[in-house]
Structures are given as C-alpha cells and as structure tokens.
A = this chain, B = another copy of it.
Amino acid sequence: MAARTEQDVLDAIERRRRRPHVKLMDEHVTLAHGAGGKSTHVLVETLFMKELGNPLLEPMGDSASFRLYDEVGPGVALSTDSYVVKPLFFPGGDIGELAVNGTVNDLAMAGGRPLYLSAGFIIEEGFPTADLQRVAASMGRAARDAGVAVVAGDTKVVERGKADGLYVCTSGVATVDHDLKLGPAAIRTGDRVIVSGTLGDHGMAIMIARGELELEVDLESDSAPLHELVATLLEATDEVRCLRDPTRGGLATVMCELAMAAGVGITLDEAALPVRPEVNGACEILGIDPLYVANEGKLVAIVAAEAAERAVAALRSHPLGADAAVVGEVRAEPPGMVVLDTAFGGSRVVDMLAGDPLPRIC
C-alpha cells in the first residue's frame, strides 16, 4: 500500500470537517471509551478528530513529530498522557514513575531522544501530603534515570469526592535525529512483527495489587523507559517501519490499529508470544486474553523481513529487550485484520478491545 500524500491527508481532514454532525451512538461516556480499544477509537474519530483534526494529529501515533522552524533544523516530537491508575502505588512502580516512563516511551516510539517533560497534578482535597511526596520523589528518580527533566508544572486541587486521590498528566518533548518515516504508512507485506519482551506484566500487576483477586502472585509492573532500547534498535538497522508501545488495550489493539491504518493483514503466532506463566495463570482465572493486557515497558516493532534477525539481536543485547522475539508477520490478506495462529494449529480473528475488562490500568 502506498503512503498517503500530504494532500490526501488534508483532503481527508476537510471531508471529515464537512461531514454532517454525526452523533455518537452513545449519549454518555462509558468506561469503554477510555480503554484504548474500539470505543476509544470511535470517540476519537467521530468527536476529537472531527473538531481538532490536522495533518500532525491525523496519524494518531504515540506522539506527533514536526519541525519547529519550517523545514529547517532537526525534528521534534510532542506527546501527552494522563494517568489515572488505581491503586496509585503498586508492585514495580507508582503513578509518578508511570507518568514519567509512559510519556518518555510515547516519545521513544518516534525514535526520539526525550529531553523535557511537563507535569500537571489534579489532587483531591484531603490527599495525604506524604503520598504526594512519595509520588514526586518517584517522578524525580524516574526522570533522572531516563535522563529527562521536568521543566514545567501545574497543581490543581478539587474538592473532596471530586477526584480519586490523584491524577497526573505529563507531556514531553524529544528531539528526533533520524530520517526514518516511522509509522503505519511505511508498513509493507512481508514485514515482521517483533515484541521486546513478555506481555501483560503491567496490567496483571495492577489487577493483583487491587486485591480484588484472591491471588498471591509475585508479579511486578514492567514500567521502564524505552528510549535507549529504541536507540539500540535504530543503530542496528534502518529498516524499522513502525514502533508502538502496547499499553492500554495491549498488543492486540495496537496490531488492529496498525492493520487498519496500513490496510494490511497481520498474523500473530500464539506459540511465539512471550508471556510469563504467572500472567497466563492470572489471565485464565480472570478470563482475559494476555494479548489485551497493558504493558508499560515493552515495544512492538514492525521491521523488514531481512532485518528481523538483526533487530531481535539488537533488542536482546539490551537488558530491557532480553526476551525479544518475532511474533508475527504482515500479509496482504485479510486487509485491516489481525489473525492469530493458535498454539493448537487453528486460527482466529483478533479484534480490538471491546468494553473495558481492566479499567484504570494507567
């Protein structure tokens, strides 16, 4: 499939703007609208893209990349995420660390070097200042570890009962030095799908930390900054087509988005998917597919077939990519769809996440 030209994108935006005002089917926002799956997609497409659409927002990637001074000078990436994770503190991290690493990772997926973050805090009246201090300290540590600085901030307080303790919103700026056109438009038939490690660790760690399950499992969030892992990958090969971090909605949802955006079919090999036995076990009990469970320290790379081996070797050379593996392939058929070849020799269609089995996971 050929990449869309800038005029194609502008035309599409104009068509959307002129479209009669389509009411969302839902008259009220549901938790599913925030789950990152099908409902989020519909909300963003029919509402936000219609009102706010522009060529930089249109690719709907993890971040937007642009040049600040016309076409002169190197690229810049901007990204934002709000964090409403519950509980605020969990094995392997907390909302502060997550807010730093999550935004660092969105920037890393553009192949950027994250430099500066902003942080907005929405705090519920009555929130313990000791907890706020713990979150701030954790953000400070995560920022130093990732080599970024929080340079702008904002603090708002809402009345008791009007928020759930603490929400954090971080945005970040990165420089982008490479000339690769990373994104769905670069994906070609025959490309390989690579994940950098085990799937579902973050989501399951949160579920277990909530204490709603009667499970005693030793599982930590995989929250980690991925920009160095990406740099290692991009040093090894320039045949990377697209990078995503499979957070809300998990690997399945990211794959569906890419298959639709690129107009290709994606086949995943269930036997090749790296999933910890503890995560598999917890997922079975909950009746959730680990393919839909959030990750906060993993990436998905679509890479040209001939570079796949080199890419996996590069990822494995970094501690955060030790379990990297090829898990799938891009095919011409069925366009816009993801198919899973199951471990039992069958195959089934993988759809976007519907509903929200794991609310407030990030």
Contact = CB atoms under 8 A, between A and B. Distances in A.
Interface of A: 21, 23-24, 26-35, 40, 43-44, 47-48, 50-52, 54, 56-57, 63-64, 66, 68-69, 73-74, 76, 78-84, 115-116, 118-130, 132-133, 136-137, 139-140, 143, 149-159, 161-164, 167, 169, 171, 173, 175, 356, 359-360
Given A28-B127, A173-B76, A156 B23 contact: no
A177 to B, nearest CB: 9
A136 B40 CA distance: 15
A129 B82 contact: no
Contact of A137 (B51, B128, B356): B51
Contact of A173 (B44, B78, B126): B78
Given A133-B47, A152-B57, A173-B68, A52 B121 contact: no
A162 B163 contact: yes
A266 to B, nearest CB: 24
Given A23-B129, A57-B151, A139 B29 contact: no
Number of copies of this chain that the complex holds: 2
Contact of A359 (B27, B116, B155, B159): B159
Contacts of A54: 149-151
Nearest to A148: B54
Candidate in A143, A150, A152, A175 with the most chain B CB atoms within 10 angstroms = A152
Given A27-B129, A27-B130, A30-B157, 4 more contacts: A44-B155, A64-B116, A156-B360, A161-B161
Nearest to A27: B129
B162 A164 contact: yes
A124 B52 CA distance: 21
Contacts of A153: 44, 48, 52, 57, 80
A295 B74 CA distance: 37
12 contacts: A31-B157, A34-B123, A34-B155, A34-B157, A43-B155, A64-B118, A68-B68, A78-B173, A80-B120, A81-B154, A82-B156, A122-B167
Given A74-B69, A139-B51, A175-B68, A120 B152 contact: no
Contacts of A119: 52, 80
Contacts of A51: 133, 136-137, 139-140
A125 B31 contact: yes
A48 B151 contact: no
